[in-house]
Structure formats: C-alpha cells, structure tokens
Amino acid sequence: MGRHGTIANRKSAQDSKRSAMFTKYSRQIIVAAKGGGDPEFNPSLRVAIDKAKAIGMPNDNINRAIKKGTGELGGESYDELQFEGYGPSGVAVIVEALTDNKNRTAAFVRSVFDKSGGNLGTPGCVSYMFSRKGVIIIASEGLDEDEVMMTALDAGAEDMIVNDDNFEIMTEPSAFNDVHMAVKNAGYEIFEAEIEQIPSMEVKVEDEDSIKALTKLINSLEDNDDVQKVYYNCELDLD
C-alpha cells in the first residue's frame, strides 16, 4: 500500500470531515479566484473547483466563493501561513494555513504543539526534510497501467506509483497543471490533486504514548478551519 493508502480509506476520512472541508476548499477557491474568476484561464482556480466538486460541494457554494475572490460579493482576504515544528518522538511537522487573523492562527498552532509535547520551531527548521511535489491520484480499476503512465509522462510527470486501487502520479510543481489537465482530458477519475510536501525520509514511531500524542496533534490541527494541510514524516493511521 502506498503513502496515500486506498481510495476507500481516503474517502472515508473525507466524508467524516465534509463540513470542515467545505470551509477549507471555499477559502482555496477565494484565494485562487483573485487571479481571475474564469477557470479556463486560471489553472489554480480550476484545480480548486475540481477538488471542491470531488467532495460534493454544491455549485452555489463554489460560485459564491468565486465571486468573493473576484470581489463581486465583497472580497474576503486570507493570508497564507506556514508553520514548522516537531511533534512527539521528533516527528517533523509542517502546517499550511489560510487565515483572516494571523495572530489567532499562530496562537492556536503553538498551543496545539505545546499540549502535544511537541514544539513549534522557526521557519526552515524542518522544511528542508520535505520536497514540494504535485500529486494526482486516480482510481485504477479497469485502467491499463502502461497507458496511464504514458499519458502522465508525456504531459511532464516524473513518476507513477501503483497502489492497491489507485495510481499516484508525481510531478514537479511547475508541471502539475499540465499533467492534471492531461489526466482529466483522458477521462480518468481523479480522486485527489494537490501540491504537497513530500518527506525525503520517514521516521518510525513505535512508542504507543507518542503515537497517541502525535495522532491527537495532527487531528487537532486538521480540525481547525484555518489549517489547510498538515504534513509529517512518519506513517500514521489517523482515527
């Protein structure tokens, strides 16, 4: 099983947090729409809309978010923030956020790290352990592996990982939009498409107390509306 596990497991995790994800994806659309409200000419907005539709966000919500981003409904302003630190057992953690109140978000993230037995660090303290990569996950059932790989590679992808029920296509961030469009035009079912922070190496956490504390840390961060993504360099089954 690959880093992202099975689609069923990922889908279950998304379903359980659907309401919170609507809020997160609305913010992504608002920020992306500042670069233009037409997804045909704004690849970032197109990807954000596709992600929102994939979790069942109603079109009214999507259109309202676009209009907020373009200023038609009184624009909302969000700042992009990144926090870095260490969780229990020295696990490296990166937190990406979109917020309308920097102080509130910073105080929340610091509090969660402190309560978990971790510590929030300075910019750059763990990001050198990660690489930004485009990740596109498609359902693999009924598809020819070689055909999918050629479609992805021809569009500029770096690699493709074969998992139990999905293909995980990896790209450089600069090639992400081209590969995403090629995969979409080929008619493949895209389950997830993101620019992510991929750890260069993963640590193994075996202490049960550390696992519980780390799980609580990640879940607490992900449940916050301001937090968009949490990355960490270990295998962890969140519940």
pLDDT in single tens digits along all 239 residues of the chain: 345 666 666 555 555 566 778 899 999 999 999 999 999 899 889 999 998 998 899 999 999 999 999 989 876 789 999 999 999 999 999 999 999 999 999 999 999 999 999 999 999 999 999 999 999 999 999 999 999 999 999 999 999 999 888 999 999 999 999 999 999 999 998 888 889 999 998 999 988 999 999 999 999 999 999 999 999 999 876 65
Q: Which amino acid is at 74?
A: G
Instruction: Indicate if 130-199 has the same CATH topology as 79-128+201-232.
Output: yes
Instruction: State the pLDDT at residue 77.
Output: 85
Instruction: State the pLDDT at residue 5.
Output: 63
Give the integer Cα–Cα distance in Å for 28 and 35: 12
Instruction: State the pLDDT at residue 93.
Output: 97
- For the domain covering 7-70, report its CATH number: 1.10.10.200
Give the integer Cα–Cα distance in Å for 50 and 3: 22
Find the Cα–Cα–Cα–Cα dihedral 67, 70, 75, 79, rounded to 10°. Answer: 120
Was domain 130-199 assigned CATH 3.40.50.1110? Answer: no
Q: What is the DSSP string of the chain?
A: --TT--HHHHHHHHHHTHHHHHHHHHHHHHHHHTT-S-TTT-HHHHHHHHHHHHTT--HHHHHHHHHHHHTTT-----EEEEEEEE-GGG-EEEEEEEES-HHHHHHHHHHHHHHHT-EE--TTTTGGGEEEEEEEEEE-TT--HHHHHHHHHHTT--EEEE-SSEEEEEE-GGGHHHHHHHHHHTT--EEEEEEEEEESS-B----HHHHHHHHHHHHHHHTSTTEEEEEESB-----
Give the integer Cα–Cα distance in Å for 125 and 133: 19
Q: Can you give the residue ranges of every domain in the chain?
A: 7-70, 79-128+201-232, 130-199
Q: Which amino acid is at 114?
A: D
Instruction: State the pLDDT at residue 2.
Output: 44
Instruction: State the pLDDT at residue 84.
Output: 98
Was domain 79-128+201-232 assigned CATH 3.40.640.10? Answer: no
Give the integer Cα–Cα distance in Å for 4 and 10: 8
Instruction: State the pLDDT at residue 1.
Output: 34
* Beta carbons of 188 and 150 less than 8 angstroms apart: no
Instruction: State the pLDDT at residue 136.
Output: 94
